[in-house]
Every structure is written in C-alpha cells, then in structure tokens.
Amino acid sequence: MADEVKRGLEGVVAATTKLSFIDGAAGILEYCGYNITDIARFATFEEVMYLLWYGRLPTQKELRAFSQKIRRERTIDSSVIRILQTCAKHIDAMDALRTAVSYLAQCDPDLSNNSAEANIRKGIRLAAKFPTIVAAFYRVKQGKKVIAPMLNLSSGANFLYMLRGTIPNEVEANAMETDFILTAEHELNASTFTTRVTVSTLSDLHSAICSGISTLKGPLHGGARAEVYKMLDKIQKPERAEAFIQRALKQGQKIMGFGHRVYKTYDPRAILFKETALALANFKKDKKWYMIATKVEDVVIKELVEKLGKPIYPNVDFYTGPVYKYLDIPSELTTAIFALGRIAGWVAHALEQYADNRLIRPNALYIGPHNLKYVPLEQR
C-alpha cells in the first residue's frame, strides 16, 4: 500500500551499501564481506577503518602508512583542551565530544572540501582525535592532568593509557581494541542513518558526525550501555541476579542490553563481547561481574525466550557491562566509547553517500484534520 506507514521505518530499505551485511535471523554480521568473528579476532581497529573506508583489506605497506597518518593526528592542541575545560562538569562526555567536533570543524583546512580525498583526511583527523578528546574531558572533570597520546600504541591501548596514565596490559588493550572493532559499523542504525541524512544535504563531514554523536547519545541507542552498567551495580552479587530480573519483568520493565530491531537470535557481537568479558575475568581472577551478567542472561532467556517465545537475546550492549567493569571504565564514559568505534562507520557511510548522493527526504502520512476555519485571535 502506498499509504502504509512503517513505524520507526522498520523493514524499509533506504539505501544500498557495500559496508556491512546483516542476517538478523541467522545472526550474521559482515564488514565488507568479512565475517565479524574473523575481523574481531584477527584485525586491528586501524585495519578495520581502512577496510571500511577503502572497501578492501590493506597490504602491510598500506596499513603501516595509514596507521602512521592516524597516529600523527591523535594529539589535540591547547585550544581544544581549553574548550573541554569550559564545558560544564556535569555534562555527558558525548556533549563534550560534540562540542569539540564543532570547534575542530572551523580549524580544519578541508572543512568546505567534500571530495573523497578531503573527507578521508578529515575522517583520519576525527577518528584519531575522538579517543583523545574523551579521555581528556574525563581527566579534566576529575581535576587531573590531561595525558598526551602515545603514537606507538594501538588504538585500544592508547585510549586506556590516556585515561589512566599507565600503559595497559595486553589483555586489557586487546579488550578495548575489540570493543572499537565490534562497534565500528552496523548498517543503517539510527546514528548512521542520521549521518547519511546530513550528508545527503551536502553539508560537511564535521556536521554529519555531530548529527551521529547526537543520535548515538540516546538511551535507546548507545546510551543503553550505561543502563546495563547501572543494572550490574544494582545487582552487585550473582546470587541476587535472578530475583532482581524476575522483579523487573513482573513490573514490566525493559531489561537493557536485550533485544534488537534486526537480530531475532543472538547478536554475533554479543558473543564476542561475552568472550572478551570472560578473558578479562580470568585475567583479573575475579568472575563476579561476568557471573552476574551470565545469570541475568540465563533468567531473561528462560523467561522471555523459552517460556514466551520472544526472540529477546543479548545485544551488543549487554556484555560491555562486565567488560567496562573489568577495565575500570566509569559508567559516564560508556556511550562516548561507543562513538570511538562508530566513527569509523560514520565516516565510511558519509563517503558512500557523497559518492552517490540523493537528498534523503521521505514522506509523512498526514492524519490531522482538514478544512478548519481560522478564528481571529481576539475571538479565541
């Protein structure tokens, strides 16, 4: 039907893409044709960025050159730090990140250049600086000295270093790197779609990325991670998990980190995050947070999947809870960290939209009244 409305645009195909493929029934996710499991286990985040932006895996020489470009752009100057210092201390890190990106736009020599080459240069600058901005803002809020990035560290290791001031061990660094990779790209999610809508007007890349940040901040998108983190804090002990979830379900509450618009089975990214959480738990010799999470999962699946037949399984957000607990990452940074990975996908979709653009402008079905008679103000 021409007038059929798909609420939330569910099931509507709005674009073609070569960036990612999702089979929600089978639980498959691919980046440019490569299964997410292989990518997460064997690739680096810089390699994933190259794949998404250029459509193929790099050679060793290409990756080395690309990584050097990324790492040289990690540093933020004193003017950006001053911007972060002027931000209100109570605001979310996503707000500070959005503010910093807006400021960086006016400093970028390629701001008004929308060629593919210029946008990759801008993408490199933004992707490189995102972790530095988030770590710097957090340390400013804590009244601590901002730590400059280390150019010889991987993306994950460098972020943890800037956050803490100490170089992380290999298990922690790999966990953070895996996080960035698993959140890099996911087809037309809300923030990516918003990014493409902005690009479709032929606005600049910085404006499009600000759109993505603003959308990702919402609790039904990236903000769900913070809610999972808070839930773990409330439960505190594995033996309390079942009663907590049973009570929440009886009250009709949504269990954050479960269910997905696309996946009707286990989110493949959740499987990998679960593996990461277990690796950290074993390394730390502390399975508390992992056990709480698995107990929550068991109860939700028993009550919603097995008893009611609802396809509500863990999504990408759920096992970030124990992962961030083990990495000593505060809940206030969980959404911003999502952006540190998703910037790769946002830039990739911007490049794809610019290359074959048509203004994105859907229709709306009007359901209001017609032919009302205007009543003068003095008669109302």
Residue 184: name the closest of 20, 26, 313 by CA.
20
How open is the CA angle 13-17-19, to the nearest 5 degrees? 130
What is the average per-residue pLDDT within 19-23? Answer: 97
Cα–Cα distance, 31 to 22 (Å, whole number): 9
* Confidence grade of residue 12 (pLDDT, cut at 50, 70, 90): confident
- DSSP annotation of 30 reads E
What are the structure tokens assigned to 5, written together?
């409305």
CATH superfamily of 16-185+204-215: Citrate Synthase, domain 1 (1.10.580.10)
pLDDT at 3 over 80: no
**Can you point out the beta strands (E) in the chain?**
20-23, 28-31, 34-35
Please, are residues 13 and 6 in contact by the beta-carbon 8 Å criterion?
no
Residues 6 or more apart whose Cβ sits within 8 Å of residue 324? 225, 229, 331, 334, 337
Instruction: Return the domain boundaries, the chain.
Output: 16-185+204-215
Residues forming a β-bridge with 21: 30
Neighbours of 273 (CB within 10 A): 29
pLDDT at 223 over 90: no
Which amino acid, 5?
Answer: V
Residue 23 known to be catalytic: no
pLDDT at 1 over 50: no
Phi first, then psi, for residue 21 (nearest 5°) are -125, 135
Set 260, 267, 349, 356: catalytic member: 260
- C-alpha pair distances (Å), 304 with each of 274, 341, 343: 20, 31, 34
State the greatest distance between any 2 C-alpha atoms of the chain, in Å, as a whole number. Answer: 76
What is the average per-residue pLDDT within 179-185? Answer: 98
Neighbours of 42 (CB within 10 A): 9
Burial class (CB in 10 A: 0-12, 13-18, 19+), 187: middle
pLDDT at 233 over 70: yes
Q: For residue range 29-60, list pLDDT tens digits in order.
A: 999 999 999 999 999 999 999 999 999 999 99
pLDDT at 307 over 70: yes
Mean pLDDT of the chain: 95
Residue 260 known to be catalytic: yes
The predicted pLDDT at position 2 comes to 55
Set 206, 221, 317, 349: catalytic member: 317
Put simply, whether the predicted model's pTM sits higher than 0.75 gets the answer yes
Helices (H), 73-204: 78-86, 93-107, 116-141, 155-164, 170-182, 190-200
